Structures are given as C-alpha cells and as structure tokens.
Amino acid sequence: MSTPHLGVVGLGVMGRNLALNALDAGNDVSGTDLGEDAVRGFEQEAARPVTATTDIGAFLDALPRPRNILVMVPAGPPVDAVLGTLAPKLDEGDLVIDGGNSHFPDTQRRHDEMAQQGLHFFGMGVSGGEEGARLGPSMMPGGPKAPYARVAPVLEGMAAKVDGEPCVAHLGAGASGHYVKMVHNGIEYGLMQLLAEAYDLLKRGAGLGNQRMGDLFSQWNDGELRSYLVEITADILHHPYTVEVDPDEAPGDEAPPEGMTGRYLLDYILDTAAQKGTGKWTSQDALDLGVPTPTIDAAVTARYLSALKDERVAASDLLGDPAGRAPGDPEDLVDALGDALLAAFLVTYAQGFALLKRASDAYEFGLDLGTVARVWRGGCIIRADLLETFREAFRADEDLPNLLVAPVVAEKLIGHRGALRRAVGLGTQAGIPTPCLSTALAYLDAYRSAWLPANLVAAQRDYFGAHTFQRTDQDGTFHVQWEPAGL
C-alpha cells in the first residue's frame, strides 16, 4: 500500500503549518503557492524532502492518483480561482478539500460544480489557529461520504486528540463542514464577548486590577469553566506591558494614565474589535431559519459598537452618566461572576447546537450533534470541558431539541442561573453594558416560560393588519374588529 499523501495549495499561515503537520504525521506531502517565498519557506521547514513548487502542473504530477488536495487560500474569489485552475487538470475521483473559512452557500455551489465534473469536493472547517494547524487542529469536513475513508488516515493523523480520539470526523453531506465551522465561530464570538463583559464587570464594576482578574480567570479555568478561551484570557490579563514593546516606548515610572490599572499590555490596546464575517453569517442564517441565537447576535453587534470609537467618545461627553462601581460589596459581584459565566456559556453553546439541528434538517446535512461535540472537544478555539457533557447529552438523546433541556445541562443551569441574574442586575445598576450576559439570561428566561406575552403581539397584528390569531379556548383562526365601538 502506498504512503498516504496530501497536496496543499496555499502555503500561508494555515497551509504551511497544516502541510508540516501532515508531514510529521507520516504522510507524503506536496505544496504549491503563488509566491516563491512561501514555497521555499515550506521546503526549508520540512523535516523530510517534499515537492514544493509554484508550478501547478509539477505539483499535480507529484501526487499519486486519486489525488487528495487541501486548498488553504483566503475565502471568496481566491478559492474559485484555485478550483478554476485545478479542475480541468484533475482526474475523475480526485478529492479537493477547501479548508478555509468559506461561506457555506459558496461551498454548496462548488460541491455541485465539482460533482458535475466527476470530482469530489469537501468543505472543511479548520480551527485552532496557527499553533493548532501545526500541532493538532479540530477539523470539520463535509461532503460526499465515499472518499472520506481514503483521506481519513491523513486527517486523523493531523488532528488534535482527546482521550485518544481524533478531533475530526466526516460530519455530513454538502456544505455541512463549513456550516459547522461557521456556527463554531458564532459560538466563539459569543464566548469571547461574555468573557469581555466579565472583565468589564470586574474592572469597572468591582474595581479589580489585572493581576487579580487574571488570577480569577485562572482559578475559573481550574473548574467547570475549563476552556481554551478562559485560559488565554488569564494569560492576556497577566501579560506585562514591556514584553513585546521597545522599552524606550514604554511609559516611565509615573503613575499609569487615568483608568488604567498598571503596566499591563491589555490596558494599552485600543477598544475596537474587528471581524471577518463568520459570526455575522451565523446570525444571518439563524434569522433565515427562524432559530433564536440572541447571544451570538449580541456578540456580533458588540463588535460593530466597538468599532464606533469616535462616536462613542463624542456620545460619552454628551450623554454622561459613566459606568461606575456596582452597588454593595464588590466581592458579591466577584463571587457571582464565575457561576454567571458558566450559565451564559451553556446558553451560548445551546443556541449554536439548536441552530445546527435546524440547519441539518433544512439543508439535509445529516449531522450527528454528538459527533460535532466530539470534534470540538480539542484543537479548536471553543474547546472546553463542557463539550464532553454535551456529547453525553446527545448520546443519551440524539433528538434533543435544545441542550437546555438535557437533564445534565438543566441541573447545571438551575444551580448557576441565580448568579447570572445577580451579575446582570449589578452590571445594569452600574451602567456597564452586558449585551451577551443579558441576552443569555433573557433567552433562558424565555425558553423556560410556559407562557409568553406574544398573545398581545398576535392581537396587535390582528388589530392593524387583520392577520388573525389562534385562541386557547377554541380551535380555528380568528379575526375581530378591535376598535372600541363609537370611534
């Protein structure tokens, strides 16, 4: 049997590291890129001889048939450009895997176009950043099932492992792989914003300094909240100012500027966060499918609000009423926050999985949500101990409509929701914005409400638009003349 092989198109940050990872895992690897520097860089870093060339023909000739080709170029037109170049030169049965953050409708179109040419196409989400790509990412391939067996040994060798299981699996049909990665990123946006809100509540609401805050996040990371994002938040809070900055540029011995807690790098980072679009796509498709994902939506909106720096500075002068300390003993807020975060994390994951469930039905992906939870346990940005709990929940009931009603999750929520309510209440009184903590609480309160005030909304629609309503005491649809007699 020949050595498993992989060809990589695009040797930038992700492609080069994935190619080196595949090589370390014992595969034969070839690489190509538009740039000579990228090609030479890969060749020099490779521990064994590789084919590395800017010549696409030489690259394809070096690959045994049927070929396995991983494309790692920027999402959008570059992917179509690469497929346009590759497709006429490929042979029937070759497999092309797009490992970038492509939008899932593009992936479905490419999947169909490639299939018409007798070629297999996977959209594959890859998570873990540069280090993950090199040492073990989480990978989310989707597309035709048959060619997966051929490439599985390559991907499983490269993937992160948890309890000996690789964080990769064939997830489903069509564009399912990129859909799952999109929702991964939507959850990522939600968790990141929740952590930012906890930081704000500790900093402005409780008056804590960076060292104590970092210690708290570390402490949380030793408990039920253990996760990559909590861990890196502790590292970021502890990170000193001077490490990556020219010492001549660092502030002198004078007191730190107003509002800053000391010489920590975080205090000098501009408060605007960019985005590339995957979080927005998650919210957009959730709205199209009618699935409530308010915590993810709020996180996307929070990034837009962060970008309005000049407007916010101007508004702070005009509108005043600055955020201040939370009422009462600051330690009450500190005590509440760990449990509040756990409840909000559970709600955010639940929204993402509920979206995956609906999308799987709507787009006929055939997702198994327990497998998704397994693949997310390691290597990816949203990896957390909680993923094992979710995997068990879906194992116990594969038709679970929402993680919130899995007994193991419900029990945790009942134990922690009081803290979420306290944290949101204290933050609100202090004037500190908590869009994700608040929407997580509101979603939880709405989802567990047997009755909601939508009867009034239904009546209002019927009043102004004759849209009809249903009744609780009679079958059928109804419309009435609502205007008071005599008007």
Ligand X SMILES: O=C(CO)[C@H](O)[C@H](O)COP(=O)(O)O
Ligand Y SMILES: NC(=O)C1=CN([C@@H]2O[C@H](COP(=O)(O)OP(=O)(O)OC[C@H]3O[C@@H](n4cnc5c(N)ncnc54)[C@H](OP(=O)(O)O)[C@@H]3O)[C@@H](O)[C@H]2O)C=CC1
Show the CA angle centred on residue 146, arms to residues 4 and 156, nearest 5°.
Answer: 40
Q: Which stretch binds ligand Y (CB under 6 A): 8-16, 219-227, 294-302, 319-327?
A: 8-16
Q: Which residues contact 384 (CB under 8 A, 6 or more apart)?
A: 225, 226, 227, 228, 229, 230, 345
DSSP state of 255: P
By rule CB under 6 A, what string of x and - marks binding of each residue 100-139 to ligand Y? xx------------------------xx-xx---------
Residue nearest to ligand Y (CB): 12
Q: Which does 275 bind (CB under 5 to 8 A by kind): ligand X, ligand Y, none?
A: ligand X
Q: For the chain, percent helix, then strand, then coil, each to nearest 5?
A: 55, 10, 35
> In this structure, which amino acid lies at residue 446?
A
By rule CB under 6 A, what string of x and - marks binding of each residue 367-396 to ligand X? --------------x---------------
DSSP state of 101: -
- Residue 181: active-site member: yes
Cα(211)–Cα(101) distance, rounded to whole angstroms? 35
3-class DSSP state of 207:
coil
Q: Which does 78 bind (CB under 5 to 8 A by kind): ligand Y, ligand X, none?
A: ligand Y
Query: Which lies closer to ligand X via its Cβ, residue 300 or residue 337?
Result: 300
Query: Which lies closer to ligand Y via its Cβ, residue 126 or residue 155?
Result: 126
Pairing of strands 68-71, 51-53: unpaired
Tokens read off for 317 = 């002068």
Q: Which does 91 bind (CB under 5 to 8 A by kind): ligand X, ligand Y, none?
A: none
127 is in an annotated binding site: yes
Pairing of strands 28-32, 95-98: unpaired
By rule CB under 6 A, what string of x and - marks binding of each residue 427-456 to ligand X? ------------------------------
Residue 445's H or E segment, with its range, is helix 435-447
- Residue 89: active-site member: no
Cα(471)–Cα(475) distance, rounded to whole angstroms? 7
Would you put residue 174 in left (φ > 0), alpha (ψ -120 to 50) or beta?
Answer: left
226 is in an annotated binding site: no
Cα(14)–Cα(75) distance, rounded to whole angstroms? 13
* Interaction residues for ligand X, span 100-119 (CB under 6 A): 101
Q: Which does 381 bind (CB under 5 to 8 A by kind): ligand Y, ligand X, none?
A: ligand X
Tokens read off for 58 = 């030489």
Asked if residue 360 binds ligand X (CB under 6 A), the reply is no
Q: Catalytic pick from 36, 181, 203, 309?
A: 181
Query: Which lies closer to ligand X via its Cβ, residue 276 or residue 448?
Result: 276
Q: Pick one of 34, 135, 232, 273: the residue that binds ligand Y (CB under 6 A).
A: 34
Summarize as ranges the residues that interact with ligand Y (CB under 6 A).
9-15, 32-35, 38, 72-75, 78, 81-82, 100-101, 126-127, 129-130
Residue set of the binding site for substrate:
101, 127-129, 184-185, 189, 276, 303, 461, 467
Give the active site residues: 181, 188
